[in-house]
Every structure is written in C-alpha cells, then in structure tokens.
Amino acid sequence: LTDFGLSDHYVGVMKGVLLTHCPEVRLIDITHQIQPQSVLQGAFCLSQAVPHFPPSTIFLAVVDPGVGTLRKAIAAEAGGYRFVLPDNGLLGMVSERLGGELRAVSLAVPESASGTFHGRDVFAPAAGRLAAGCALEDLGERVEELIRLERRQPHLNDTRWSVSVLFADHFGNICLDLEKSLGESFFQLDAKYKVGESVVTFGHTFGQVARGESLLLWNSSNYLELAVREGSAEKLWGLSSGSRIVIEKV
C-alpha cells in the first residue's frame, strides 16, 4: 500500500527489491492510489484491508511525507500480522482495530539510502527479510512508543453530530469518521438530516434516491458516508480530508 501512483517506476522497483530478498514471495497490491501524503487515508485503508488477509501476512505500507527526516522507520507485529512502514501514525487505526499486544522495532537507515525513496532502500528490504524468515527482533532495536495518528473525534451534542471527513474514495463518496457502532441509534432509515444548509435522506444504498441526489448511509466498512447517486459528493460538497461537518436531525 502506497501513495506512489502507477505512472512511475517506484512500485515496480519496490517489488523487485522484495523479490531479490525472497524470490518465492507472493505480492498483492492493496492500493497505490492513496492521496499523496495522506497518512490518514493510508491508515484507514490499511485498517480495512488487514482483517481480510490470512495470519502472518506481511504488510508493506509507505505513505511517508517525512521521508529522509528523523522520523523512525519501523517493523511491527500485532494480531498475528506483521507490518513494515514509517512511524508517522500509519499503523494507528489498524492497531486499534486488532487490539492486543503490539511489538515494534526501529529499522536502521543505511548511509547509502536515498533521502527521498526509503520505500526502496529501507522498507522493501526489511519486508523482504521478514518474508525470507528473519525474526522481527533481528531487524532492529525495540521501540516502546509509536507516533499517534491525530484525529478529531466525532462529537454528539443533543440532536447533532459533529464529524470529520476522512477522505473521498474513487467514486467521490465522502467517508466520515463516525463508526456505525457509535452512531447507529442516531440515524434512522428514510429519515431526513440537515447537512450544512441542505436536507439529506439517510438510506441503505445509493438507489434509494434520485440520480444526482445526496444521501447518508453506512458504507461497507461501517463508517458514515455522504454520497451522491451516480455522482461525486466530493465535487458537489467541496469537502476534503479534515473538513468538519455538522449533521442535525430535522
């Protein structure tokens, strides 16, 4: 998982490094279309993908705005899975979801490493060594505290929720930082809610409203979503990651 896109050589080079260290490794792409430098979107997508993979899977994730700085590069283990990634909060949501013990070690950055491509020179070699059988503890020194992902928590005030935008997906659907387990009692099917200056229906799926009409729903990850049937909520509403919106009962 990266924010590298697919138009350049970066992803292919990382795969080549992995295969050099462990020729029999099987590689699966989660996505390389994370919005550039969006650690929050990367953390969310990683947290949604991990539980659908078999135990002992190694996840190599690089969304790294601080590449080349003093931020740590780490390898970690949680919930039976292993991770290689920067210590910038990218592991935060998945570690919360998995729970239990988290072990992490700091990866050394070779003097020869590029200041802008630790995916190739630090993270991919470490993931390749893990895949080839190297123990986590043999990759570096133990790290006791990791960087936390900064998120404004959703807030319920009587008849309204104040929530933050996590990101907009490929379709322009806006994923909001409110889980179903927390907000389910507030939202009722076919009820109307005020979002900004507009009134929006809460539904089960996109087809419940007319084309071009907005709706709220629980998405497949059980997070609240603001969507537009056969359109882009991102474009219509002009919201971006970190934006705060208020949703009120009508």
- Taking the model in full, what pTM does it have? 0.94
SS3 readout for the chain: CECCCCCCCHHHHHHHHHHHHCCCCCCCCCCCCCCCCCHHHHHHHHHHHHHHCCCCCEEECECCCCCCCCCCEEEEEECCEEEEEECCCCCHHHHHHHCCCEEEEEECCCCCCCCCCHHHHHHHHHHHHHHCCCCHHHHEEEECCCCCCCCCCCEEECCEEEEEEEEECCCCCEEEEEEHHHHCCCCCCCCEEEECCEEEEECCCHHHCCCCCEEEEECCCCEEEEEECCCCHHHHHCCCCCCEEEEEEC
pLDDT digits (tens, 9 = 90+) for 128-164: 999 999 999 999 999 999 999 989 999 999 899 999 9
Tens of pLDDT, residue by residue over 50-97, are 999 999 999 999 999 999 999 999 999 999 999 999 999 999 999 999
Q: Find out if CATH 3.20.190.10 is the number for domain 155-249.
A: no
**Tell me, what's the pLDDT at 105?**
99
Quote the CA–CA distance of 116 and 209 in Å, as a whole number. Answer: 46
- Mean pLDDT for 33-59 is 97
**What does DSSP say about strands 81-86 and 58-60: parallel, antiparallel, or unpaired?**
parallel
* Check whether domain 10-143 has CATH 3.40.50.10790, yes or no: yes
Segment 184-203 shows an average pLDDT of 96
User: Where exactly are the structural domains of the chain?
Assistant: 10-143, 155-249
